[in-house]
Amino acid sequence: MTKVERASIVMKILGKHYPKTPVPLDHKDNFTLLVAVLLSAQCTDERVNKVTPKLFQLANNAKNMSKQSPDKIYEIIKPCGLGPQKSKAIHELSNILCNSFGGEVPEDIKALETLPGVGHKTASVVISQGFGHPAFPVDTHIHRLAQRWGLTRGKNVTQTEKDLKKIFPMEAWNKLHLQIIFWGREFCQAQQCHGITCKICKATFPKRSRRFYHKKP
């Protein structure tokens, strides 16, 4: 079976199972999405969604957030982990948005990547889920599943992103990103499926009988 054939199987199963792909992080605009995605680093979406209502009650735009001290932000977001770094980043990026972008989140991935605490993956999520532009954010979970399904041999998320963009149509990227995440959480978890039990693993590698060990980024 070729990589393209496996990709077709993946799209078919995911499309049938997840026809709708709601953004899992609660937000009302691109600023609150940006902050929520930043907070989700090494933290579950569920925990972020418990924290952000109080944070956005305090400040839900760049202007108001820039007026808050990092310590005040930290007191709210500390359950998300990496609190000191994240609170400082949220405060600093809010200042930059006010001073350089008129208080708005820039609709440009390179500009987003210049903001404190915003890497390529976070910027890609905002560009795709916030602005609706084609992007394929790859985290460690998508990296794991892409390897299990034989869609990449990439040793890191950068190479995996390039490989996925080559084999999937651009118009499907934004939806697939979420569909793969949903499938990984529900059926192909890191310590459960091991590349041999879920429907997609079985369909893409029907003869695989031993656990698959993916290359960690």
Asked if residues 116 and 82 have their Cβ atoms less than 8 Å apart, the reply is: no
**50 included as an active-site residue:** no
- Based on the structure, what is the number of domains in the chain? 2
Q: What distance in Å separates the CA atoms of residue 62 and residue 53, rounded to the nearest whole number?
A: 16
Do 40 and 125 lie in one domain? The reply is yes
Out of 86, 139, 163, 175, the active site residue is 139
pLDDT for 216 equals: 74
The continuous run of DSSP H or E covering 16 comes out as helix 3-17
3-state secondary structure of 210: coil
pLDDT in tens, the chain (217 residues): 999 999 999 999 999 999 999 999 999 999 999 999 999 999 999 999 999 999 999 999 999 999 999 999 999 999 999 999 999 999 999 999 999 999 999 999 999 999 999 999 999 999 999 999 999 999 988 999 999 999 999 889 999 999 999 999 999 999 999 999 999 999 999 899 999 999 999 999 999 999 988 777 6
Out of 16, 72, 121, 207, the active site residue is 121
**139 included as an active-site residue:** yes
Do 78 and 37 lie in one domain? The reply is yes
Look at residues 106, 130, 154 and tell me which one is the last residue of a structural domain. Answer: 130
Do 156 and 95 lie in one domain? The reply is no
Token pair in block for residue 132:
């609706």
Query: What is the extent of the structural domain holding 142?
Result: 3-21+136-204
Look at residues 80, 105, 130 and tell me which one is the last residue of a structural domain. Answer: 130
* List of residues 6+ apart from 38 with CB closer than 8 A: 86, 89, 90, 93, 117, 118, 122
CATH number of the domain where residue 153 is located: 1.10.1670.10
Q: What distance in Å separates the CA atoms of residue 135 and residue 112, rounded to the nearest whole number?
A: 14
pLDDT for 61 equals: 98
Token pair in block for residue 93:
């990026």
Do 126 and 54 lie in one domain? The reply is yes
CATH number of the domain where residue 122 is located: 1.10.340.30
